[in-house]
Amino acid sequence: MRYARSLVIEAIKVVLWLEEQQLELADLRQDLVDEWIASGARQRRRVRLFLAWLQRSNVTGALNVDWDERLPTRPAIDDEQRFAILRRLLHDPELDPRDRFAGSVLLLYGKPTTRIVALRTTDVDTTPDGEITLRLGRGEIPLPEPLAGIAQALRDRQLTRAGTDGWLIPGRHAGQHMTADRLQQRLKRHGIERSREGRHAALLALAARLPAPILAERIGIHQSRAAAWARMAGSTYADYVAVRLDK
């Protein structure tokens, strides 16, 4: 009973928070969800069920609440192992394109399976110059080859089958995407035993190369979490400021 009451309380809190910003439930986007959760206590993650109800009611699009994860002291998958898995995913045409795409996005950009399965065909785009991009955060990331070709082929296949925009990785039932648990089971076949380990390795590698503000924007995580990854990777926001001032 106490837990059920807390679910209602967190739902009310997020509604009031939106009202303070003169926003409505229909305005709720993933970056706002991340911001609200990151700026409060862990109990805020209990809004997950409320967000799922909003999506089923067509009030909002797909919104996700990642499970609470403490930052590791080191990645469980080292780069040698990560690259070995990536090479097979990217270069073995015998593998299912869904697995190739999902595993590569997880190991390169650190996206959780809950976010990957919620991607739509419209999240893969082709620029006027012919470049293939993927929308992960607020902007679109240009995909390198051969991942670009895999993403494009997967998008085109799904558009041909469905005849309209839909899930990039559809599930067994019409109108639903594949579940995160099912995707994790599939990725285990390719050496990704636990997605969290591969994600952590990818995020540390990205944080070592990108300033926290850019990391947050590119892959769609909250700035405070990006800053934490940057600190673990040995980067600082001061480095970013210095680069900007030198321009």
* Domain of residue 104, CATH code: 1.10.443.10
Residues 134 and 166 in one domain: yes
Residue with tokens 């009030």: 59
Residues 97 and 191 in one domain: yes
Q: Is residue 68 included in any domain, yes or no?
A: no
Q: Is residue 169 included in any domain, yes or no?
A: yes
**142: preceding bond cis by omega (within 30 degrees):** no
Range of the domain at 52: 2-56
Residues 130 and 146 in one domain: yes
Q: Is residue 187 included in any domain, yes or no?
A: yes
pTM score over 0.85: no
One-letter amino acid of 170: P
Per-residue pLDDT of the chain (247 residues; tens, 9 = 90+): 576 787 788 888 888 888 887 888 888 888 788 777 877 777 788 888 888 888 888 888 877 776 555 555 445 577 888 899 999 999 999 999 999 999 999 999 988 888 899 899 999 999 999 899 999 877 788 999 999 999 999 999 999 887 788 899 988 877 788 988 899 999 999 988 777 788 888 888 888 888 888 888 888 777 777 787 788 777 544 444 444 444 4
Residues 123 and 230 in one domain: no
Give the chain as a DSSP string: -HHHHHHHHHHHHHHHHHHHTT--GGG--HHHHHHHHHTS-GGGGGGHHHHHHHHHTTSSS----PPP-PPPSS-SS-HHHHHHHHHHHHH-TTS-HHHHHHHHHHHHH---HHHHTT-BGGGEEE-TTS-EEEESSSSEEEPPTTHHHHHHHHHHHHHHHHSSS-BSSB-SSTT-BPPHHHHHHHHHTTT-S-HHHHHHHHHHHHHHHS-HHHHHHHHT--HHHHHHHHHHTT--HHHHHHHHHH-
Residues 177 and 207 in one domain: no
